[in-house]
Structure 1
Amino acid sequence: MVKTWNIAIPELTGREKRRAYLYLPTMYRDQPRRRFPVLYMFDGHNVFFDSHATHGKSWGLSEYLDFFDVPLIVAAVECNHHPDNGRLSEYSPYDFCDPEFGCVTGRGDITMEWLVNTFKPSIDRRWRTIPWREQTFIAGSSMGGLMSLYAVTKYNEIFSRAAALSPHIWADRKKLTDLIRTAPLSPDTVVYMDWGSEEFGGNRRMAHDLRLVADAIFDRGIHLTARVVPGGEHSEASWEKQTPFFIDTLMYGLDG
């Protein structure tokens, strides 16, 4: 079951409304005393419904979770669609310049402060969540993948596990890597990270940079699953196919 409603993020776009999404697991109604871990996701409009997705193809995540009876709540929020790089700005912790998009002011820290201090508490109040760090996860793709790596590192006291699919680390790979190397991280932290072999034409430099980030995570001694997806592309259709891998990583070792 996926519920939707409209919310505003005053810190970012004032009173302008955007959709929020909440997936409830198959057993939520029949087990009224049970509480569930929560996965927070970026680009909520691309997660569940093709009709809402930017390019007409979603991850179809609810169908997968329903079919396998995964005991997990998923909370997601639509991105900023403003043509002046609204999504890039909200989903980057760092200022950066790009040949295609120009210079972007990173407001990812504002996005995370809202998610941690406003959105998460509202989800915990309204639904039967397990609010503790050990059962609070975060995931996203591309810029959302960058934000997921940033979140599990900078806000490690909130999120214990993250999935970063095709993370767009080039906003500022050095700052991200420095954060990973120096932030206080609990040894039980779990990270899933992947990228497709065909992304951006199989650019070897990009693959090299992603390996540097994976090495930095691995060097911290936390639990890392890193994959190169054979034939993987930078698209929702490709990321949907990775659902079994990242969901299994996020849920590994938890009571079913």
Structure 2
Amino acid sequence: MESFDEDRMIHLYLPDDYLTSNKRYPVLYMFDGQNLFSDEDATFHSSWHLAQAIEERQFELIVVGQECSHTGNDRLDEYGPYPFADFEAKEAFNGYGDLTMDFFIHELKPYIDEHYPTMPQRETTWIGGSSCGGLMALYAHIVYSDIYSKSLVLSPFVSPVEDYLYLEAFYSELMQDNQMYISWGALEEGKHEFVKETKIISNIVSILSQKGMKFHLNVKENGRHCEQDWAQECNEFLEFLFE
């Protein structure tokens, strides 16, 4: 990652026959790639088992997961598109999300398109993530709709940057044909936070709907803020990508 002057692990899913099939595949770029495929790699030892879900449904795609920083709270800088303060932790974060997206767009995507049989056009280039990664997927689709046509926004970390998001959505100039999957759960951070999160997401949906964005909303009555619950959504968001 030139913007951060460091190396980073990329977790990659490829169809078994990608070398011999003569097919090209859509590509889903994901944040927190260490949590996608293997419990052994996952931060909290529980992954999404995404490869298994893809194979069970016989979908054909490439998944590219960028592993987050594991140094202190650097993940919140890297996956924060705007600066914000955490008053409980008494810590401020710089919001280096633009630098992260510079890596995704100008380094990672060109490398993947050069070395693997991708469908590189925006119609088959998608992005997704959860929590801070969900915030980044939301931001990326709003700002870079010329690159991404679909996004997966799971339990996005929106509360600290509410006003920034409203302004970003209001002034955005979206390409045509955009679709966004958003999910959030009632048991993530308590009732008060769920009500606030629902308000913020509803306002963003309202703004972007007027610009032509289409939405698949999934409010989870018993949804928690954890990998186990996001794993349970794999079938639903994969259906969304391929519908």
User: Secondary structure at the residue paired with 2:11?
Assistant: strand
Within 5 Å, give how 1:170-249 maps onto structure 2: 170-203=159-192, 204-249=195-240
Query: Which of residues 76, 79, 90 is equivalent to 1:91?
Result: 79
- Alpha-carbon shift at residue 30 of structure 1 (Å): 4.5
Query: Please, what TM-score do these two structures have when normalized by structure 2?
Result: 0.94
Deviation string 1:145-172 (CA, Å, 9 cap, x unpaired) is: 1100111111111111101000111231
User: Secondary structure at the residue paired with 1:18?
Assistant: coil
Is the counterpart of residue 168 in structure 1 residue 157 in structure 2? yes
Query: What fraction of aligned residue pairs are identical, expressed as a percent?
Result: 36
Query: Whole-Å Cα distance in 2 between the matches of residues 74 and 155 of structure 1?
Result: 19
User: RCO (CA 8 Å, sep 6+): is it higher in 1 or 2?
Assistant: 2
1:28 matched residue in structure 2: 18
Q: Give the counterpart letter for 1:87 in structure 2.
A: R
Within 5 Å, give how 1:75-114 maps onto structure 2: 75-83=64-72, 85-101=73-89, 102-114=91-103
Query: Whole-Å Cα distance in 2 between the matches of residues 103 and 120 of structure 1?
Result: 30
User: Secondary structure at the residue paired with 2:156?
Assistant: coil
Query: Whole-Å Cα distance in 1 between the matches of residues 152 and 210 of structure 2?
Result: 18
Q: Is the CA contact 1:47–1:59 (under 8 Å) kept in the aligned structure 2?
A: yes
Deviates more, 1:238-247 or 1:127-136: 238-247
Deviates more, 1:172-181 or 1:190-199: 172-181
Structure 1 unmatched ranges of 5 or more: 1-8
Q: Give the counterpart letter for 1:237 in structure 2.
A: Q
Within 5 Å, give how 1:36-185 maps onto structure 2: 36-83=25-72, 85-101=73-89, 102-185=91-174
Task: Report runs of 4+ in structure 1 exceeding 4 Å deviation.
Answer: none
1:11 matched residue in structure 2: 3
1:3 matched residue in structure 2: none
Query: Whole-Å Cα distance in 2 between the matches of residues 60 and 10 of structure 1?
Result: 30
Q: Is the CA contact 1:92–1:171 (under 8 Å) kept in the aligned structure 2?
A: no
User: Secondary structure at the residue paired with 1:200?
Assistant: coil
User: Secondary structure at the residue paired with 1:220?
Assistant: coil
Q: Is the CA contact 2:10–2:33 (under 8 Å) kept in the aligned structure 1?
A: yes
Query: Whole-Å Cα distance in 2 between the matches of residues 242 and 215 of structure 1?
Result: 24
User: CA RMSD of the aligned region, Å?
Assistant: 1.3
- Alpha-carbon shift at residue 223 of structure 1 (Å): 1.1
Structure 2 unmatched ranges of 5 or more: none
- Alpha-carbon shift at residue 18 of structure 1 (Å): 2.8
Deviation string 1:110-159 (CA, Å, 9 cap, x unpaired) is: 00011100010000000000001110000000100110011111111111
